[in-house]
Amino acid sequence: MATRRDFPYYRGEPVALSGLGWTLALGGCVAGFLALILIPRGEAGQTPGLIGPLLFVTLPLVGLALAAGRVWTALFPRPTVRDLLLGLAFMPLALLVSGVVAFFYGKGGLAQANPVAGILLHLEPVERVVFIAGTAPQLLGEELVTVLPFLAVLTLCHRRLALPRGVAIAIAWVVSAMIFGLLHLPTYGWNVVQVLLIIGVARLVLTIPYLLTRSVWSSFVAHICLDWSIFAFVLLQALRT
């Protein structure tokens, strides 16, 4: 059955966010991202490295709670089996699409490697567990800094500019994916083309479960399964060599 949920806030349900409210929500996203990249993590695989990722989740939620009050929880509807299965279903597609784009882009010799693979291979087993566990709150934070801008752009386009709902959703989908890609600039050597083509395109696919379910849990499942499958592939390849 089709879900009866709708995206929160953009039509005033369960509450309409004012301009100040959206500033607080998006400001929390900015603060969380700055905490993630600026707070020293120390040696990889150590528990102090969890502070930045935890703030990356917490600060956007604080901003949303200040803006929406108790109904900040509308962002997290109770997960259903359908939500989780759709998240799982779109993970292989995200991996395939980003892999194909990365392959053709990499043939030009311009791609920057993700340093995470090298970090994983040089950690002790316990440190690997801590490091990978720390990616869970970070990935949830990445969902928040995608979904909240998506909802803000949707609100702007649909309520303020009176664009048709489908057009507003499409614009918000693309804009939020571009924002997500640009947040990865420090990781990929400030290569704008790479983050927009590879990361941005992967984000478009990862957002589809959210568009279908209106649940952050669904896109989070797709995202965490994607990243952790890549980690598993890297470790398995190392064991074979």
Copy the structure tokens of residue 219: 């896109």
pLDDT, tens only, 48-88: 778 999 999 999 999 999 999 999 999 999 999 999 999 99
> For the whole prediction, is pTM greater than 0.85?
yes
Residue carrying structure tokens 């917490």: 58
Around Cβ 217, how many Cβ atoms within 10 Å? Answer: 21
Q: How far is Cα 70 from Cα 128, in angstroms, rounded to an integer?
A: 37
Mean pLDDT by 10 residues, the chain (241 residues): 77 94 97 94 72 95 97 94 95 89 74 74 82 89 98 96 97 97 90 91 96 96 92 79 64
**Residue 3: predicted pLDDT:** 46
Q: How far is Cα 221 from Cα 104, in angstroms, rounded to an integer?
A: 27
